[in-house]
Structure 1
Amino acid sequence: MVKAHSFDGEIDKARAALDDAIKGMDAANAGLGSNAKGNGRLEAINFPVEEALVRETIALLGRWKTLALSLVKQLDSLTATADLQHRRLFDEKAGIDTSGLLGRRIGQSHAKPTSIAADLEAALAASASLDAQFKAARLALVRSFRDCEAHLVRVIERRQHIDFEIEEVQRRADGLIPRIFDRRSSISSAHDAGSRSELEAEYSRLTAEQNDLHEQERALQPGRAALQRLIDIYEELVNVLNVQIAAINAMAGKLAIDIEQRIALLKAVTSEAVPPLPSTERPTAVAALIAAFEANVLAGHDLASRKARADDIFTRRLEPHLLAMPAADAEPSEETEPET
């Protein structure tokens, strides 16, 4: 019995990381939503907890993305290996002249069609699971992004309302300055005690009003500072969510093309095998991928160029450092595995 590569462990780790990240996003949104309410008590906000929650959520999203990215690359590498093994069934020199380690290693051995097909079936099973994760992750991220953005808009509106109140108080306090200055000057030049007493009383009233306005401004400042701190904390989360959505789109786009490649290669291996490969019952998810491929009249069309475009988007979005890598540095060494 052929033992195929298993991705079950990696898939389970990614699924657990995604579940944790979704819980983190929900908790962060619940906290922000509560603080965004107009009657929320700003002095009761525990900022260290808020900041820790957002940092943890961002870290969980990063962990899931790292695991998902690794899976996409591992599956692509396995597919490239299967493709080279398939070509070696008809051309023993295929891959022997390849300068990379992958080509040299494959060139030293021959794989049987049953082994190639088993690896492709395993890759498709993992692809189906990963595709489901991408769909779930995108729904959760888009929902969280929209909710977080809406809550953040309300927080910004609350801060703007306080800004307006502070500006109004400052305007009124500034408007008293000429009157206070005038009364103070008039007191020193008053010719009789009655006039002086009246001016002093008005001066005291104006300065008291000014002091009261300054006190109102000081009372408003902590609320404004609290709201601004919330904005700073959650703007980072909104930006990260937006970036993660773009990353999922790039990974899902590549995976979709890679699934087509795997199915086309599996069909080639099974149809060309002599003697024919024994039929096996496929997992429901894999059978669904193949059925969708067969139902799509454009499936497999212009596959090489579409894969090249998807790989380019994937690299630019998720591995931009590879685009600037010198050609000499891009060559894998004897001791390291090549990245696909």
Structure 2
Amino acid sequence: MATIEKTGPSTWRISKYYQGRRYRLSVSRKPTKSEAERLIWSIIEKEPEQGAYQSFETAARKYMDSKSSVLSPSTINAYGSILKNMPQKLKNKPVMSVTREDIQISINDYSKSHSAKSVRNLSGFISTVMKSVRPSFSTAVTLPQKDKTDFYVPEDEDVKRILEYAKGSRYEIPLWLATFGLRRGEICALLTSDLSEDNILTVNKSKVLNADRTWTIKQTKTVESNRKIKIADYVAELIRKLPEGEVYSHSPGQINEYLQAAQKKLGIEKFSLHKLRHFFAATARELMGDAYVEKMGGWKPGSEIMKKVYDYTKEKQAKEAQEAFAQKMGKMIS
């Protein structure tokens, strides 16, 4: 926050320390705090050494490099993909010259060939990069409405058939662990030593794809992802029978491929491995409160996932009630 100091009968000095340098500006009336902040940033942003005259693409790559040791590899990869596919005109424009209109035009152009979610990701990325160079810049733009997508939860019987199909294969344990709410990266990073004698799994790392397209073990993406999970005796015994080391030592992508092959073989509706986390959330919610489900699944408190599970449950109950009512009415003339 900028400081305001009276230096004379009708003069005030605004000052701010930023990136190892003190910036100062004199004004003829006392500014409000927000005015002082805006005025001092107008001075800071004109400094070439702050990177304001570089292209947006250069600023974006510098930002990504500066965060490479803090953000997860998957986030850095996602940023790289967004940068690669965003409109070239904005990428080439000097950061100091970028306006909200420029961003809105780019958003409009991008939305013609991308989903609403992708457009929102682009908007968030642009905002992050701009604020890394021009902190006072407002990137408020109009975004397309969110796509309304169905929250899919696999049926109990389908999950049971898949687990039975996988019995004895190297994919049995990963599929079981997914039904306990583990993400694919967390499953692939697990060690046999992460299982305690009382069947508690410690989840504190994840296998992720680096920018150079190699798999590496990193800490989990969020604090909430670090957790301990009680698993079934059957699954625990499967893990104990493994050689000491990784619980699953093969390519993460092969789990998805096996799941798709199993679904095709069994004639089950196709769904991704991640949907087993939805299955976990919906099933666990029948036995415990939302807060416990979020903690066990590694979600932040008040996460969107529980609202989706709630809506899914209500919709399912409504369909069952309508079906029962239709059958009852049908019997009136039978």
TM above 0.5: no
TM-score (norm 1): 0.26
Q: Higher helix fraction: Structure 1 or Structure 2?
A: 1
Structure number with larger C-alpha Rg: 1
User: Which has the higher relative contact order, 1 or 2, with Cα contacts under 8 A spaced 6 or more apart?
Assistant: 1
Q: Higher strand fraction: Structure 1 or Structure 2?
A: 2
